């Protein structure tokens, strides 16, 4: 289907201006969420804040039974297609060191910007609800918990995310903050983010006293050898133009300094951009661990878990998103990325079933250089939230353009004024 712009450049600028009316409320919501982050699939406080922010908009609202999800459906006044807009809501188990006045103190942190994502989608819901009379079709707003390693996207898919509107969505979009100048948009067609898998290795030996290692089969140096061998394996067995990243992130052995343990364990995260590379690394890393252990007279147990597939943007939907973003924000603020990133995102599971696109939004505070500022998942990362109206306006314009709807009217403030 060919998508045409829904309104003129002046009308698009008006949309940004109208979204700016919501900015104080969106910033307040974002900072409230940031100060009280929740982890995993069960986010009762976050869910309640979202439900409160959506109240009075005339949406059909459903909540999850397995997780604290919120799905809201806006039915347009005109016939048309269904478009899905998705955000994530959960935080990370990181002790915050950002120094923000609204920093969390409960041992968790919104270090990946999900608080901004949630506020941005709430803003889009307000803007689109104000446009209900001009809206063709339906918009589904999906507020997802459990993106950070808890497979929340799959949980919501299993609970009927793609059927809740009555007709399946023809397109799905999401926006994710990233290091970059505030209000900048960047994405690419095809592979955008890597798949994510986990490798678990347990080396089994025979423990004993640390003063007599010759009487043991020490698994610790073997585990260390496997750790370093994994790095050499990647550089020697995989094409640099089909990248693989293996990062050993956890090592566990004895609990006392004078004990050689019976077992030692490692966990590694593995990222790939192709099925061929994934199939190869899945087999060969487990074989490598076993070969090294057997050379020292020890045994291994290995397991492999595929978590998220490659996040693959549909080329047609990406072209639509880039065209809409350029029309809304101007060409200088919208860029096509030359290469994928090796991070991962469970929105990939939605994009595997619905053509769509994930877009990045720059959110580095103006007092920091995006090239050197703390990055996502750092305890010191900070995000600018004075461009949340751009986030909301972009999602709104994507939904309006994709359904062929008209210009959005003036929304009320979130407090009803």
- The residues spanned by each domain of the chain are 9-192+310-403, 195-308
Q: Which residues pair with 39 in a beta bridge?
A: 91
Q: What count of other Cβ atoms lies within 10 Å of the Cβ of residue 300?
A: 22
CB 415 within 8 A of CB 142: no
Q: What is the pLDDT of residue 5?
A: 34
Q: What angle do CA 118, 121, 122 make, to 5 degrees?
A: 85
CB 214 within 8 A of CB 325: no
Q: What is the pLDDT of residue 414?
A: 65
Q: Is 27 helix (H, G, I), strand (E, B) or coil?
A: helix
CB 19 within 8 A of CB 396: yes
Place of tokens 């693989």: 244
CA atoms 153, 84, 336, 276: torsion sign: positive
Q: Which residues contact 54 (CB under 8 A, 6 or more apart)?
A: 61, 70, 72, 122, 125, 141
Architecture of the domain delimited by 9-192+310-403? 3-Layer(aba) Sandwich (3.40)
- Residue 401 corresponds to which tokens in the numbers above? 């353009």
Q: What is the pLDDT of residue 404?
A: 77
Q: What stretches in the chain show pLDDT beneath 70?
A: 1-13, 406-417
CB 392 within 8 A of CB 19: yes
How many Å apart are CA 164 and CA 69, to the nearest integer?
Answer: 13
> What is the DSSP-derived secondary structure letter of residue 248?
E
Beta-strand pair 334-336/185-187: parallel
Segments in 143-218 forming alpha helices (H)? 152-158
Q: Is 392 helix (H, G, I), strand (E, B) or coil?
A: helix
- Residue 357 corresponds to which tokens in the numbers above? 């696109």
Q: What is the pLDDT of residue 14?
A: 86
Q: Which residues pair with 109 in a beta bridge?
A: 92
CATH code for 195-308? Answer: 3.30.70.360
């Amino acid at each position: 289907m060919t998508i045409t712009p829904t309104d003129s450049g002046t009308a698009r600028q008006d949309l940004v201006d109208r979204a700016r009316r919501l900015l104080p409320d969106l910033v307040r919501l974002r900072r409230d969420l940031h100060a009280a982050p929740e982890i995993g699939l069960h986010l009762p406080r976050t869910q309640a804040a979202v439900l409160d922010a959506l109240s009075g908009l005339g949406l059909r609202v459903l909540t999850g039974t397995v997780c604290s999800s919120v799905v809201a459906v806006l039915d347009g006044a005109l016939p048309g297609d269904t478009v899905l807009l998705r955000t994530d809501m959960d935080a990370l188990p990181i002790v915050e060191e950002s120094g923000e006045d609204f920093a969390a103190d409960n041992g968790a942190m919104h270090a990946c910007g999900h608080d901004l994502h949630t506020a941005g989608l709430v803003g889009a819901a307000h803007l689109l609800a104000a446009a209900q009379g001009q809206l063709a079709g339906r918009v589904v707003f999906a507020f997802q918990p459990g993106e950070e390693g808890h497979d929340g996207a799959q949980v919501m898919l299993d609970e009927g995310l793609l059927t809740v509107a009555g007709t399946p969505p023809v397109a799905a979009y999401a926006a994710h903050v990233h290091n970059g100048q505030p209000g900048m948009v960047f994405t690419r067609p095809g592979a955008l983010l890597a798949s994510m898998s986990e490798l678990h290795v347990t080396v089994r030996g025979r423990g004993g006293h640390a003063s007599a290692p010759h009487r043991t089969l020490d698994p610790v140096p073997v585990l260390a050898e496997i750790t370093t061998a994994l790095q050499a394996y990647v550089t020697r067995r995989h094409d640099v133009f089909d990248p693989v990243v293996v990062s050993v992130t956890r090592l566990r052995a004895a609990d006392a300094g004078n004990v050689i343990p019976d077992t030692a364990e490692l966990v590694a995260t593995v990222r790939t951009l192709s099925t061929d590379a994934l199939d190869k690394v899945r087999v060969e890393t487990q074989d490598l661990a076993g070969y090294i252990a057997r050379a020292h007279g020890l045994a291994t147990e290995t397991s492999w878990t595929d978590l998220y597939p490659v996040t693959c943007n549909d080329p047609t939907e990406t072209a639509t998103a880039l065209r809409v973003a350029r029309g809304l924000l101007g060409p200088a603020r919208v860029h096509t990325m030359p290469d994928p990133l090796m991070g991962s995102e469970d929105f990939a599971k939605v994009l595997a079933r619905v053509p769509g696109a994930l877009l990045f939004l720059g959110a580095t505070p103006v007092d920091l250089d995006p090239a050197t500022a703390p990055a996502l998942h750092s305890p010191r990362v900070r995000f600018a939230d004075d461009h949340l109206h751009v986030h909301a306006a972009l999602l709104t314009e994507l939904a309006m353009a994709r359904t062929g709807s008209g210009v959005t009217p003036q929304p009320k403030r979130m407090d009803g004024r």
